[in-house]
Amino acid sequence: MAKLQNRFTTGTIQKDLDTRLTPNGTMIDAENFLVTTSEGSSSGVGKPALGNIKISDFNIVGAKTIGKAVDSTNEKVYNFICGDAADYIIETDLNTNTSVIVLQSSTNGVLNFR
């Protein structure tokens, strides 16, 4: 089988095309990857986002992360967590490696991640 090699010079992700049709310089997927840009700049720098490193301990019983969102402008990650007693949105600041609960809801409340 042929070995595919690619240099990622454009910094774009193309998930819609077959990997054999993806243009050179384009990624097909990225995990735990954050692109930071300066205000008014059209270029950015890629760096690893916090992944499977425990950086907070909120003692959420039955916690399961069901999704996440990245705010690369403010260098924050939002985790959507389903717990046994409540659901949570937790904000992690990548600069300070600190986390805070932004929103907490009971299992029958607004978030209802079940």
> Which residue, among 58, 36, 61, 38, has the nearest Cα to 47 in the 3D structure?
36
Check pLDDT > 80 for residue 50.
Answer: no
Q: What is the mean pLDDT of the chain?
A: 77
Q: Which two tokens stand for residue 30?
A: 């990225």
Q: pLDDT (tens digit, 9 = 90+) per residue, 72-102?
A: 889 899 999 888 888 899 999 988 888 999 9
Q: How far apart are CA 58 and CA 71, in angstroms?
A: 22
Check pLDDT > 90 for residue 29.
Answer: no
Cα–Cα distances in angstroms (integers) from residue 62 to residues 23, 31, 66, 83, 84, in the given order: 43, 24, 12, 5, 5
Per-residue model confidence (pLDDT) at position 100: 93
